[in-house]
Structure formats: structure tokens, C-alpha cells
Amino acid sequence: MELLATNVCFDGEHRRYRHSSATLQCDMEFAVFLPPSALGEEGKPAPVLYWLSGLTCTDQNFMQKAGAQKLAARLGLAIVCPDTSPRGVDLPGEHDSYDFGSGAGFYVNATEQPWAPHYRMYDYVVKELPQLVENELPLSGERSVSGHSMGGHGALICALKNPGYYKSVSAFAPIANPMACPWGQKAFKGYLGDDQSKWEAWDATRLIPTAKERLPLLVDQGTADEFLETQLNPETLADVCEKFHHHINLRMHRGYDHSYFFIASFIDDHLNHHARALGLA
């Protein structure tokens, strides 16, 4: 882990690191917020919220725009923000569109060429990155996961596919049923191939019926979100949760859009949701 930058923030530290990822076969950058309670000789290892960002984002969007650090510092909660795709591998067509390739890893493990050797963001965010940061930083090993849009989809599938690994899960405007929307169909076809039966392992609505752990889902969605009708499908997720008795708190917020203004407005609710599950509140 190479430290790229550090900023004091609410008596904690925001740090950016670079490391060589064996999973993705490239160098990756990520951000960490460490609360003041985890720093210094008397510091106590902190539980961590893994935040997964959306299309076109990097590790920096959430840290700079969400306004999460003040409450996280008070709660004693660390935050880890990975990037959203491999970087620097320069595959053919990787940079041609905003919703596939660079900045659009979709938190799956690609099986199609030329993506398969590098686009394994699921293994990266579930396995490699947590192992790295929990070994090297003052983190307790207690985890929660959240995210926005593509990252909301990522948070949901990470929790549903790994019973016992996370204490809680939440999402802002997640791509809740990617098999049924243009963003998801494009990504899944490119990364996973034409066989849609292989897509089901990466779609929250298809994972709910057989979930072995039923963590309550906190999902916030704005009614003025420009992608609500065409890409996000929160009602489909709510319907399958109701059918299979999986608790979901789907909150529709009148007038809010898809931006970080929306996330900043309700991030404290999500931090408190995770803090309760992690024993911090």
C-alpha cells in the first residue's frame, strides 16, 4: 500500500492509497476515512463501511461529496471506498462508453474475453481489498456495505451472496434488477456472455428468493431520479422481498434526483443504520 495523500478531517484522517491488485492484474487506488477513535497509540480498531460507487465514479466522489465524515468520526466508523473498475489495462473498447468498461465494472466477475483477466470487481471488493486494508490499517474486521446506483446493485449482491460477512446493507437508487434494464443488460452481456441464466447470480431480485441470510435492506430512492423509470426498478425489488418475506425499507423521497445532493441529504440515516448493526449506536 502506497500512501498517496492524507487529509485531517473531523479529527480523523482521509487517506488515498495505491496498491498492485493480483485480482485485477493492475494498480488500483482507493480511499479510506479513519475516525479519530482509531488513530494514535491508544486507538481502537474501527468497524468499516465499504462504499461502492456508481457509473463513471472513482474512489473520490463519495469522500468529497457525500458529507459522511462528520458523523462517521463521531460514531467511530471507518469508510473504505474502492474504485469502480480496473484502471490502466487499456482493453479494446474499454473507454468507448460511460456505462461499460472503464468506470463501469458492475461488481461482477467477468467470464468473457478480453474482460475476464481484469474485470473481477466482485472478488476485489469482497475478498482482496478487505483482506488488504484489514491487515494493514486499524480496522476491526466488522463490516457493512452500501453504495449508489451501480454501487447500490453491488452492495446488495455482495451482502446477499455472502451470509455472515456483513453486519448490514443499504443502497441509494440501486440498479435493483439489472437483468431487466439497459445498463445491466449491456454490462452483463459484455462481461458474462449471452447466456442469461449466468446473469442471475448477479441480480439482487434473483438472489432474494434463495438468500441464506435476510439482512434488512434500507433503500432510498428519489422520485425525480431521471433513471428511475428506465434503469432502477426498485418496485421489482420490493415486490420480490415481500413475496419471500425479506425485510425491506424502501423510502421514496419526493423531488430528489440521482445526484450526490440526494446522497448527502440522507447519508446520516444510512450511517446510523450501519452503526446500530455494528454495535456503535
Return the H-helix or E-strand segment holding 248: strand 248-253
> Measured over all CA atoms, what is the biggest interatomic distance in the chain, rounded to whole angstroms?
54
123 part of the active site:
no
69: number of Cβ within 10 Å? 21
Distance CA 235, CA 265 (A): 22
Q: Of these residues, 118, 148, 153, 258, which one is catalytic?
A: 258
Q: Of these residues, 14, 225, 270, 274, which one is catalytic?
A: 225
Q: Where are the beta strands (DSSP E) in 1-45?
A: 2-9, 12-21, 26-34
The DSSP 8-state label assigned to residue 229 in this structure reads I
Q: Of these residues, 85, 149, 168, 170, which one is catalytic?
A: 149
225 part of the active site:
yes
Distance CA 153, CA 147 (A): 8
Residues contacting 41, CB < 8 A, separation 6+:
none
274 part of the active site:
no
Among 77, 55, 264, CA closest to 174: 55
Q: Which residues are catalytic?
A: 149, 225, 258
